[in-house]
Chain A
């Protein structure tokens, strides 16, 4: 299942809508890393609200997406992690160390806007 990537101003928004296979996740990674430069985006938001399981592969891929996008000159925010998922992740030691997270899409957009403002 493919993840739709929407362009909203200078931000790319990828909304995961169902459980993803490992191949889907890698595809998402490739698509985001390509498009972030093609659209000259300053930020990427990955919305995981619909994910009710986050395994180690998924969180490692999110980590990689974030690091790769940083190298491509933009920031990444993960939004919409469910409370139960968050605690399960922490217990498994998948804390997404240095990736910014936000409650939902709105918060994520605000975070990126603030960041852009502080740079300018």
Chain B
């Protein structure tokens, strides 16, 4: 690994060990020869590579045809990168490839694995071709290794970057989805919470609720935690603090849908029940909120007092 890194950082020409040997043939010449070799034996090497991929049980999420088609594309952009010495096209291809295969569950080790396999396959074919001329093989490898390592690096980094981008995007989406503050009536807000609450989400929830109370001029807030199975002591404390902070803003909080586990947590941390207003379910919570706000729900057919 260390060796690869130094190879990447140095210009390839400096790396050619015996300088007197490379003087006659510049590196470009060697690379051109290399590319010609790769082009000539394209089908053969491709097939061997795909066989090695299957043997190593990589890319199991894809069919054999798909692997072959992808491999052809990788192979072609591989020696295009070697030939031109520019990696932009390869980078773009790696990004594109990652975009396609990440949703299918392809792992990082698989992508790195196949690129390294291709490197090995090509190196082997170079050994076979130049086995009689050891010095030439040496020089060819000098030209080949840095370029090949850089290709492997580019593809792997491209894949990981794409993966991270997807993860970031999903986190963002979850964050936005996770805490809607809804106004159901004049001055009445509902905050339905679903899923696991971690301290970070709890903080964000509080922020949004307190801001929501201000902007909607809310007097009563119903926090519904039917969708939360359990919460730890930190988050439970945070919930109590949110209730108190809302009161400081002049809003009454009604918590509904406490599960038995959460009830137990709240009792364990010794919450002051005088401060917490709790109702069994969301419906009951909204009814109580309406009473607090002075609303009366009346079904005109049944007449007053029988509905609600």
Q: Does B231 contact A (CB under 8 A)?
A: no
Contact B250 A90 (CB under 8 A): no
Partner of B244, one of A90, A104, A107, A108: A90
Residue of B nearest to A85 (CB): B248
CA distance in complex: A108, B241 (Å): 23
Tell me if B210 is interfacial: C-beta within 8 Å of chain A.
yes
Beyond A87-B241, A90-B245, is A103–B251 a contact (Cβ under 8 Å)?
A: yes
Stretch at the interface among A34-42, A66-74, A94-102: A94-102
| Contact (Cβ within 8 A) B241 A90 | yes
Report Cα–Cα, A65/B217, bound state, in Å: 26
B214 cross-chain contacts in A, Cβ below 8 A: 83, 103
B interface, over-half SS: helix
Interface pair B211/A83, CB less than 8 Å apart: yes
Q: Contacting B206 at CB < 8 Å: which of A87, A89, A102?
A: A87
Q: Is B247 within 8 A of A83, CB to CB?
A: no
| Residues A101 and B250 in contact, CB atoms below 8 Å apart | yes
Q: Which residues of B contact A91 (CB under 8 A)?
A: 241
Residues of A close to B249: CB separation below 8 A:
81, 83, 86, 101, 103
How many Å from the CB of B228 to the closest CB on chain A? 20
Q: Does A79 contact B (CB under 8 A)?
A: yes
Given contacts A81-B248, A86-B249, A87-B206, contact A103 B213 (CB under 8 A): yes
> What residues of chain A lie closer than 8 Å to B66, measured between beta carbons?
none
Provide the residues of chain B in CB contact with A96, threshold 8 Å.
248
Q: Flag whether B120 is at the interface (Cβ < 8 A).
A: no
CB proximity of B186 to chain A, nearest CB, Å: 13
Question: Chain A: interface residue count, which band?
Answer: 10 to 19
The answer to whether A95 and B248 touch (CB under 8 A), given A83-B207, A83-B211, A90-B241, is yes
Determine the chain A residues whose CB is within 8 A of the CB of B217 once the complex forms: 103-104, 107
Are B248 and A90 in contact, CB atoms less than 8 angstroms apart? yes
The distance from the CB of A81 to the nearest CB of chain B, in whole angstroms, is 5
Q: Looking at the assembled complex, report how far the CB atom of B39 sits from the nearest CB atom of chain A, in whole angstroms.
A: 65
Bound complex: CA A107 to CA B249 (Å): 10
B236-263 vs A, Cβ < 8 Å mask (1 yes, 0 no): 0000011011111111000000000000
Complex contact A103–B210 (CB within 8 A): no
List of A residues within 8 angstroms of B211 by Cβ = 83
Q: In the complex, which range does the number of interface residues on chain B fall in?
A: 10 to 19
Task: With both chains docked as a complex, state the minimum distance between the C-beta of A102 and any C-beta of chain B, in angstroms.
Answer: 4
Residues 293-307 of B, flagged 1 when their CB comes within 8 A of A and 0 if not, give 000000000000000
Q: Are B250 and A83 in contact (CB under 8 A)?
A: no
Residues of B within 8 A of A101 (CB): 247-250
Rounded to whole Å, the gap between the CB of A113 and the closest CB of chain B is 14
In the complex the two chains form, is A79's CB within 8 Å of B210's CB?
Answer: no
A78 to chain B, nearest CB (A): 8
Q: Are A83 and B213 in touch, CB under 8 angstroms?
A: yes
Q: Roughly how many angstroms separate A111 CA and B154 CA in the complex, as a whole number? A: 66
Contact residues in B for A78 (Cβ distance below 8 Å) = 248
Q: Are A102 and B250 in contact (CB under 8 A)?
A: yes
Q: Which residue of A lies closest to B218 (CB)?
A: A103
Report A114 CB to chain B, min CB distance, Å.
10
Within 8 A of B (CB), among A16-54: none
Which residue in B206, B210, B218, B244 is a CB contact (below 8 Å) of A95?
B244
Q: How far is the CA of A107 from the CA of B250 in the complex (A)?
A: 8
Question: Given the complex, which residues of B lie within 8 Å of A87, measured CB to CB?
Answer: 206-207, 210, 241-242, 245
Contacts of A90 in B (CB 8 A): 241-242, 244-245, 248
Bound CA–CA A96/B211 (angstroms):
20
Residues of A within 8 A of B219 (CB): 103, 107
* Chain B residue at minimum C-beta to C-beta distance from A100: B250
Residue pairs across A and B with Cβ atoms less than 8 A apart, 13 shown, are A78-B248, A83-B211, A83-B213, A83-B214, A87-B206, A89-B245, A89-B248, A95-B248, A101-B250, A103-B214, A103-B218, A103-B250, A108-B250
Query: A86-B248, A90-B248, A107-B250 provided; 4 other pairs, C-beta below 8 A?
Result: A81-B249, A83-B207, A87-B207, A101-B250
